[in-house]
């Protein structure tokens, strides 16, 4: 089991409520998807880097995530450049960079339990209407936030292993094993969640 990315601290990001951080992350994600301006996206990426820096996490500890993110970005930019041209490739790369850095800042400064609690409280009105299960949606979103930086770290580990064997950088040889590792990791997490019976089934029997 990969250890949690959360790092205790006293920064402003650590002290900010989990709900506020999640709301800001969601708003930023929507805004980034709606814009194609390269200056705006570049500014957002710089802001994301500033947020990660503000967490106080040592850069050495973040090296796997940063290195893996660089490889993932390279693949995304290259593929988008071939399919949609250089402008769209730059926009996609900057957008992904900004989102991942923002998600990393949130996961570094927020306990998983706090994320779940905040999401469940926010979704409670929808659950009361019977539209969804707040605990299930909260768990899904928390796992996404947790897995994005972890996948970047896995990409870095794969590339280092390939370099140690004398293999040249190749998107195919990186992406295929990365997908396999991600699926294996997801399956292990699913088994752990099922073994703990989380989230518990709620009694819907009329009283």
pLDDT in tens, 65-95: 777 778 778 888 988 999 999 999 999 999 9
> What pLDDT score does 24 carry?
94
Spell 147-175 as b/e; 16+ CB within 10 A means b: bbbbbbbbbbebbeebeeeeeeeeeeebb
Closest CA to 66 of 54, 49, 88, 86: 49
Tokens read off for 68:
């893996």
Residues 6+ apart with CB under 8 A from 73: 93, 96, 97
pLDDT at position 109 over 90: yes
Q: Residue 2: inside a domain, yes or no?
A: no
The domain of 81 spans 12-195
Cα(111)–Cα(143) distance, rounded to whole angstroms?
12
Q: Residue 129: inside a domain, yes or no?
A: yes
* Residue 203 pLDDT grade (very low, low, confident, very high; cuts 50, 70, 90): low
Cα(173)–Cα(34) distance, rounded to whole angstroms?
33
pLDDT at position 32 over 80: yes
> What pLDDT score does 31 carry?
95
Q: Tell me which DSSP letter residue 207 carries.
A: -
Q: Residue 26: inside a domain, yes or no?
A: yes
Q: Residue 203: inside a domain, yes or no?
A: no
Q: Residue 103: inside a domain, yes or no?
A: yes
pLDDT in tens, 154-192: 777 787 887 888 877 666 677 788 888 888 877 877 776
Number of domains in the chain: 1
Cα(147)–Cα(173) distance, rounded to whole angstroms?
21
Cα(91)–Cα(39) distance, rounded to whole angstroms?
9
The rounded Cα 44 to chain-centroid distance in angstroms is 16
pLDDT in tens, 38-50: 999 999 999 999 9
């Amino acid at each position: 089991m990969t250890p949690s990315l959360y790092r205790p601290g006293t920064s402003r990001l650590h002290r900010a409520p989990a709900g506020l951080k999640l709301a800001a992350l969601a708003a930023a994600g929507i805004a980034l998807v709606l814009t194609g301006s390269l200056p705006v996206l570049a500014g957002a990426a710089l802001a994301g880097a500033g947020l990660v820096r503000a967490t106080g996490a040592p850069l050495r500890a973040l090296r796997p995530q940063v290195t893996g993110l660089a490889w993932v970005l390279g693949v995304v930019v290259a593929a988008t450049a071939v399919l949609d041209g250089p402008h769209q490739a730059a926009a996609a790369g900057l957008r992904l960079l900004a989102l991942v850095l923002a998600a990393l800042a949130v996961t570094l400064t927020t306990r998983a339990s706090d994320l779940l609690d905040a999401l469940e409280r926010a979704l409670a009105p929808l659950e009361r209407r019977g539209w969804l299960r707040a605990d299930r949606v909260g768990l899904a979103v928390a796992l996404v936030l947790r897995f994005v930086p972890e996948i970047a770290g896995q990409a870095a580990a794969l590339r280092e292993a390939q370099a140690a064997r004398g293999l040249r950088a190749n998107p195919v040889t990186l992406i295929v094993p990365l997908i396999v590792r991600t699926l294996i990791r997801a399956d292990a997490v699913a088994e752990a969640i099922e073994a703990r019976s989380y989230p518990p089934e709620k009694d819907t029997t009329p009283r």
